Amino acid sequence: MSELTACEKLELIRHKNRPTVNDYIPAIFTRFMEFHGDRLYGDDAAIIGGIGYLSDTPVTVLAQVKGRTLEENKKTNFSMPHPEGYRKALRLAKQAEKFRRPVICLVDTPGAFCGIEAEKRGQGEAIARNLYEFMTLKTPVISVILGEGGSGGALALAVCDELAMLENALYSVISPRGAASILWKDGTREKDACEVLKITAEDLMRFGVCDKIIPEPEGGAHVSKEQTADSIYEYLVDAVYRFRQADIDTLLANRYQKFRKIGMFTE
């Protein structure tokens, strides 16, 4: 396992060649087909949804889409979903439940989008509804954080039976930059904030938030897309196999407990 600090990891996940779901989906799933729209308002390109095979198992894939070029990012809004993105994800998750397909969530977002339209269409309600419904979705849900796990916008696709993180991925309640401006009134001190916030995969393993760490090639995921995709694939095949063995009641009881037990207090 790497000895990198949180802020070194932050540099790595911002690397311009860091693979995105556009690299991973074709490498991990076969015969993937995309489904569009939330059936309520529109289609949000910040979240891809669809079905395909993982090895020989049909699965539903929900993935947040970071672009690598400005052009791509304009289309996917820098992977900051609107409410219709989360509602599309929920629609497809319900569909997966109906047809007993495991759900694979690939998380990579700075956060849910903040804007007038997002507020008008109920960004808060959309995220809340996902947390609520995914908690009792009667099919296995596996989430993998690929790069940035930005707050509620990431959590909306991370109420799951098992949360895995790529070795250099980060998952945080607030961006390091945001924390720095609150802590020291100085957003440029994001590197210091990085260490304070405890946001690496290793940190999150200790808190019981992250369950598995998927290794990246020496130097980061961009060094070998293929090798990283292989590691994710192997992890997912194993996880889906394990969670499909459990009966649904046990699965849901364990999922509830996974989140229920997180918290630190005295009484």
Partner 1 sequence: MAIEDLFKVVKARFVDEQPAQTAEKDVEIPQDLLFKCPRCGGVVYNEEFVRAMKVCPKCGYHARLTWKERLDLTADKGSFREFDADMKSLNPIGFPKYEEKIARMQQQCDMNDAIVTGECTIRGYRCVIGIMDSHFMMASMGSVVGEKITRAFEYAAEHKLPVVMFTASGGARMQEGIISLMQMAKTSGAVKLHSDAGGLYIAVMTDPTTGGVTASFASLGDIIIAEPKVLIGFAGRRVIQDTIRQRLPDDFQSAEFQQNCGFADMIVERGMMRKRISNILKLHGFPKEVTGR
Of residues 78 through 117, those in contact with partner 1 by CB under 8 A are 78, 80, 110-112, 114-116
Q: Which is nearer to partner 1, 115 or 219 (CB)?
A: 115
Rounded Cα distance, 228 and 24, in Å: 9
* DSSP sequence for 46-74: TEEEEEEEETTEEEEEEEE---SSHHHHH
Options 181, 215, 224, 225; binder of partner 1; rule CB under 8 A: 181
Rounded Cα distance, 197 and 228, in Å: 26
Rounded Cα distance, 62 and 65, in Å: 10
Q: How far is CA 235 from the centre of its chain?
A: 15
Residue 147 as a binder of partner 1 (CB under 8 A): the answer is: no
Whether the CB-CB separation of 106 and 149 falls below 8 Å is answered with no
Residue 124 as a binder of partner 1 (CB under 8 A): the answer is: yes
SS3 for 143?
strand
Options 24, 29, 171, 235; binder of partner 1; rule CB under 8 A: 171
Residue 73 as a binder of partner 1 (CB under 8 A): the answer is: yes
Residue 68 as a binder of partner 1 (CB under 8 A): the answer is: no
Stretch that binds partner 1, among 22-30, 57-65, 190-198, 226-234 (CB under 8 A): 190-198
Options 128, 205, 237, 248; binder of partner 1; rule CB under 8 A: 128
Q: Where does residue 12 rank: exposed (0-12), middle (13-18), buried (19+ CB within 10 A)?
A: buried
Residue 199 as a binder of partner 1 (CB under 8 A): the answer is: yes
Stretch that binds partner 1, among 5-13, 52-60, 144-152, 239-247 (CB under 8 A): 144-152
Rounded Cα distance, 239 and 48, in Å: 21
Strand pairing partners for 172?
150
Total residues contacting partner 1 by CB under 8 A comes to: 62
Stretch that binds partner 1, among 17-25, 175-183, 224-232, 235-243 (CB under 8 A): 175-183
Tell the smallest beta-carbon distance from residue 195 to partner 1 (Å).
10
Residue 122 as a binder of partner 1 (CB under 8 A): the answer is: yes
- Maximum CA extent, the chain: 53
